Amino acid sequence: MPSVLITGANRGLGLEFARQYAAEGWRVIAACRDPAKAHDLRGLKGSLEILALDVTDKHSVGNLVDALGTSTIDVLLLNAGVHLQKDCSLEALNEELWQREFNVNVIAPLLLARRLADSVARSDLRRIVAISSGSGSIQNMKAGGNHAYRACKAALNASMKILASDLASRGVTVVPIAPGHTRTDMGGSNAPYTAEDSVTRVRGAIGRLTFKDSGTFLSRDGTPLPW
């Protein structure tokens, strides 16, 4: 049975990833900040282990790595993210919030991937997928505003591209994938896609990955996006 570790698995896209992978019979390691309060996650059926993880807290990351021991991870899904300054103008951009956002969205995923690279490299599928965003595509940055989130996702993409080279000799495939604007707490109620649809498509794209895709930026359908 393949295994997937999902960060931010208690709500939104992360919860839906956990639901769908568990329903397909995968071993799901569902990481979230507060397992005691993760009622929706605890209600899922299937092979599910729920572990505590604040991705920005190195002690929390260390505890998770210790709890995993020698387990292998076929797919590491770097999903946890924040968007702290929505529709923010240049003038309103807050430096402290931007730094927090950068920590969660860029630094934490790379440091977690570094800690778990051995567990992924020892697995059969050997895939690391970061949930990025089309708004991180530099080529498509035509309008101003919303600096922090867009710059975070562009930086996450760069970080995953570099990681793909770092881990190439170990046969690990690393890609950022954009799920599309989806109805979650972050995406809002007017987003065009449901979490079920976006996750179904992203899971399809993950399922079709080959090592040749490593270091590319992909859409929810697995087609290439411009950096």
Ligand X SMILES: NC(=O)c1ccc[n+]([C@@H]2O[C@H](COP(=O)([O-])OP(=O)(O)OC[C@H]3O[C@@H](n4cnc5c(N)ncnc54)[C@H](OP(=O)(O)O)[C@@H]3O)[C@@H](O)[C@H]2O)c1
* String marking each residue 65-104 x if it binds ligand X according to CB under 6 A: --------------xxxx---------------------x
Q: Please say which residue, 64 or 167, places its beta carbon nearer to ligand X.
A: 64
Residue from 19, 30, 44, 54 in contact with ligand X (CB under 6 A): 54
In one letter, which amino acid is 97? L
Q: What is the rounded distance in angstroms from the CA atom of residue 78 to the CA atom of residue 120?
A: 13
Residue 124 beta carbon to ligand X: minimum distance, rounded to whole angstroms: 25
Residue 11 binding ligand X, by CB under 6 A:
yes
| Token pair 């109620």: residue | 189
- Is residue 185 involved in binding ligand X (CB under 6 A)? yes
Tokens of 121: 């490299």
Select from 41-49, 118-126, 180-188, 211-219 the region that touches ligand X (CB under 6 A): 180-188
Of these, 187, 205, 216, 218, which contacts ligand X (CB under 6 A)? 187
Q: Return the sign of the alpha-carbon dihedral for residues 61, 64, 66, 68.
A: negative
Cα–Cα distance for residue pair 30/93, rounded to 1 Å = 33
Give, as ranges, the residues between 125 and 164 that touch ligand X (CB under 6 A): 131, 133
Report the distance separating Cα 188 and Cα 197, nearest Å: 15
CB 210 → ligand X: shortest distance, Å? 23
CA distance 45 to 66: 25
Q: Does 3 bind ligand X (CB under 6 A)?
A: no
Min dist. Cβ of residue 185 to ligand X (A): 4
Question: Which residues make Cβ contacts (< 8 Å) with residue 96, sequence separation at least 6?
Answer: none
Contact 206, 192 (CB under 8 A): no
181 binds ligand X (CB under 6 A): yes
CA distance 128 to 7: 12
Residues that bind ligand X (CB under 6 A): 7-8, 10-14, 32-33, 53-56, 79-82, 104, 131, 133, 178-179, 181-182, 184-187, 191
